[in-house]
Amino acid sequence: MNKQFTLLTLAIIAMIGVWAVLEAPEEAPVVAREPHFVDAYVVDFTMLSMDENGQPYYTLTADLMEHFNDTGEAEVTEPVFNIKRDEDAWIISARKGTIDDDNIWVTLIDDVVMLQKNTPTPMRLETSKMSFNTRTQIANTDRQVDITQGELSLRSNGMVFNNVTGNLELLAGVNGTYVSQ
């Protein structure tokens, strides 16, 4: 009788186990993600890139760089981006910015100022957000941009600047004034 009771108990437990497996939902188990956190940071950050001739092509400096574990992006505080093309040079500064994980896209945000260097009448562009592709050397924004150069003043809704060719394309709603001396 004791053997029969043990076998009957084992059979019931086995049937309950099979029934539980067959009736279980087919949803994937919930996988806990690690929270968004800084996995590396650098104070007084500098990133330097060289051109094919071994000359500095651009330098990005910032007060603070924080790299995040889950996105692969880095956020920079008070970035200053120096870009060169032959003898021409530009400085782009902002309150903050992001760098993608491949160091291709640098996006500058809040009080973005792009200032031309090494020229008697430098051009100055101001906007709220600007992206720069380090491979194609193209800066662009779809936001309002204010441009001044000497007595020339322009406003546009968006622009594309090609650092390789030196061309500046204003996209829409262009208004401007020029006062001759």
Q: Quick one: how far is CA 69 from the chain centroid?
A: 15
What are residue 17's phi and psi, to 5 degrees? Answer: -65, -45
Has residue 38 got a pLDDT over 70? yes
Residue-wise pLDDT for 5-34, tens only, equals: 676 676 777 777 767 666 656 666 666 656
The residues spanned by each domain of the chain are 38-175
Fold held by 38-175: lipopolysaccharide transport protein A fold (2.60.450)
Which position has the higher pLDDT, 1 or 110?
110
Quickly list DSSP for 50-105.
E-TTSSEEEEEEEEEEEEETTT--EEEES-EEEEEETTEEEEEE-SEEEE-TTS-E
Residue-wise pLDDT for 114-151, tens only, equals: 998 888 889 999 999 999 998 888 999 999 999 999 88
